[in-house]
Chains A and B, each alone.
Chain A
Amino acid sequence: MKQIFHNEISPTPACRNTCLHGAFRQRQALRRAGTNDGNLPHPPSPLMGEGEGGGEYRLISAHLNPPPQGGRRFSGDIFFVFMWILFLPLILVILAFGCKKSIPADRCDYDGARIEPLYGVCFSLQDGSEKRFCSIVCASMSFQELKGRIKEVMVVDEPSGNKINASEAFFIESEMVTARHVKNRIHVFLKKEDALKHLQRFKGRWIGNPFRLSPE
């Protein structure tokens, strides 16, 4: 639709109520007569540029160039449909791949970190399933929640790398850090002499079994 600027035509009686035609003409006439801008009626706001706040640029008359209501609605809908047609298949494809991704077997069931076999902990649950953790820290954080469903807790003897029952193990907290993302300082030993060696070497201290299933 061709835009007709209001100042290109003569004012109509409707202008008094629907646009600023009258004010614009008045300002133009005063300017031609040599009046300073400061003395013009309705001076522009200091935040506005020339012709702003009631000046020339507002004069695309609303009643001469009415907004095409129906057309706008239609174009909005088309735009909307277009967006969905464009993006919906993309989203579905991404979702299809995202939801079907396989969960790696060596992932910690607490924080998803890769499990280093030497520091892993495994909970055997009563329903036959297993929960595996990357460190004593992650296992102990899950322990309270899972306590009622746990049948057996298996830990790894650090010197030999063999899996042992947590109730048979010795636990030492020392300066040595394993599983660095959680700063695990708790170490597991099957033999007391191995535990003592570690304790002396890394300034450790004895701690109790953090996975005690029944009160002793």
Chain B
Amino acid sequence: MILNALSITMIFIGALSVLLAIWGGISSFILYRKWKRPSRPEEKTSLEHRSYLILLIMVIVLLVRLINWPFFYITLQSFISDIEGAMCIFGVTQVKPGLTRFLEFLKPITFFLIGGWFILHILDRATKTSPLMRRKLFLLSIISLLVLIDSLGDIFLILGIAPESLVSCCTTITDILNRPTRTTPESIFGPEYAHPLQVLFFITHLALIGIIGITLKSKTLEITFLRRRPILGLLFLFAILSAFIFLLSQIEVFAPRMMHLPFHHCLYCLWQYVPDSILLFALFSLGTFSVGWGFTTALFGRHGETADLLPVHLRKIYSFAFFFLSASLIMLLIHLLVD
């Protein structure tokens, strides 16, 4: 284990999250089961009191887990100097490649689900009768399971990264000729794939922003639930496609250009050499997630009293998405123009 302030904090957060996720997950599932039909008003009052405590504690745990995603990378960054051969986060990820890859995959999913749950929670709190409580508790028990896995993974990873480990860094893996990020677009666009990929990125990104803008201006968010849900679902699918193209184009086209290293395709190096690109990635991620959160809110949030509040909330979520995606595009354009 590499001992520094960040790794200790990471383990402390992980251990605390494990305990509270187990307690919160089990409690919320029990409450979810009991919430169905409370027989007496006293029993219902008791359930409500318990739910307030569980929600209060779990909200704090989930907020910490939201911050944990960037914190995970900050911690890995702090290990670079202690790992032989690591010159960026990629090198650190090579010490425990399987576990790190799993956590890198799990963390955005957990972040997305927690964000979606928070929006439902906010929506529910805006009502007088908490009609979404039961759904919230059910989703909370599922999220607690993911938080538990994520936290355990963090602890095992931090404990498992031994100092002075010898690894190869990104150059020997991300820059090889048969890397998937190169072969995939090459198979579609041919050897000169960089330019078409760049054009495709701008088209999909602008289209996504445009569709969100049209959604905000039109009455899509106010139409009936059954008609709204497929539209927002398709929009979410398009956002996922756009995110895939964003990643591909960043690795193959934009990152080398922003780093002034035309043959190097490592995103971790990009974050290291061009630190403001972290904000670009954060804005893009939040924009894409916001589109997804809009869909999940429309899916789970329409219930009784919330039906009238939902369009207002959806409008806010999609305004966020519009803002985040536009801001990331502007950042990228300024970078490309200045560089």
* Residues of A in contact with B (beta carbons under 8 Å apart): 37, 46-52, 55-58, 60, 62, 65, 67, 69, 72, 76, 79-80, 83-84, 87-88, 91, 94-95, 97-99, 101, 103, 109-113, 137-138, 141-142, 145, 180-183
Contacts and interface: CB of A to CB of B under 8 A. Distances in A.
A65 B91 CA distance: 59
Given A58-B304, A76-B319, A180-B84, A51 B131 contact: yes
Interface in B271-330: 272-277, 279, 303-305, 307-308, 311-312, 315-316, 319-320, 322-323, 327, 330
B261 A109 contact: yes
Contacts of A97: 276
A101 B171 CA distance: 23
6 contacts: A56-B129, A58-B305, A60-B305, A72-B312, A72-B315, A112-B273
Nearest to A100: B338
Contacts of A183: 85, 168, 172
Interface stretch (B14-22, B32-40, B186-194, B198-206): B32-40
A79 B276 CA distance: 25
Interface size of B as a range: 35 or more
Given A80-B323, A99-B335, A182 B134 contact: no
B266 interface: yes
Given A50-B38, A83-B319, A181 B331 contact: no
A46 B338 CA distance: 58
B239 interface: no
B222 A111 contact: no
Contacts of A50: 36-38
Nearest to B171: A111
Contacts of B272: 112
A84 B319 contact: no
Given A58-B304, A91-B330, A46 B279 contact: no
> Looking at chain A's contact residues, is the secondary structure mostly helix, strand, loop, or mixed?
helix
B7 to A, nearest CB: 22
A112 B277 CA distance: 16
A82 to B, nearest CB: 10
A195 B174 CA distance: 32
Contacts of A113: 87, 169, 171
B327 A91 contact: yes
B82 interface: no
B335 A57 contact: no
B175 interface: yes
Interface of B: 35-38, 84-87, 91, 127, 129, 131, 133-135, 138, 166, 168-172, 175, 216, 222, 259-264, 266, 269, 272-277, 279, 303-305, 307-308, 311-312, 315-316, 319-320, 322-323, 327, 330-331, 334-335, 338-339
Nearest to B328: A91
Nearest to B320: A83
Contacts of A103: 260
B285 to A, nearest CB: 15
Contacts of B305: 57-58, 60
B36 A46 contact: yes
A137 B323 contact: no
Contact of A98 (B138, B266, B274): B274
List 4 A-B pairs, minimum CB-CB distance, nearest first: A57-B304, A98-B276, A180-B85, A181-B169
Contacts of A180: 84-85, 166
Contact of B303 (A48, A65, A91, A112): A48
B327 A87 contact: yes
A169 B318 CA distance: 63
Given A52-B304, A110-B171, 10 more contacts: A50-B38, A52-B303, A76-B216, A80-B319, A87-B323, A95-B276, A111-B175, A112-B273, A142-B263, A181-B169
A60 to B, nearest CB: 6
B334 A111 contact: no
A141 B263 contact: yes
Residue from B133, B264, B277, B312 with most neighbouring chain A CB atoms (10 Å): B264
Contacts of B274: 98, 101
B185 to A, nearest CB: 18
A8 to B, nearest CB: 13
Contacts of B266: 111
Nearest to A76: B315
Contacts of B331: 91, 95
Contacts of B172: 137, 182-183
A95 B335 contact: yes
Contact of B131 (A52, A109, A137): A52
Contact of B323 (A83, A98, A138): A83
A99 B260 CA distance: 11
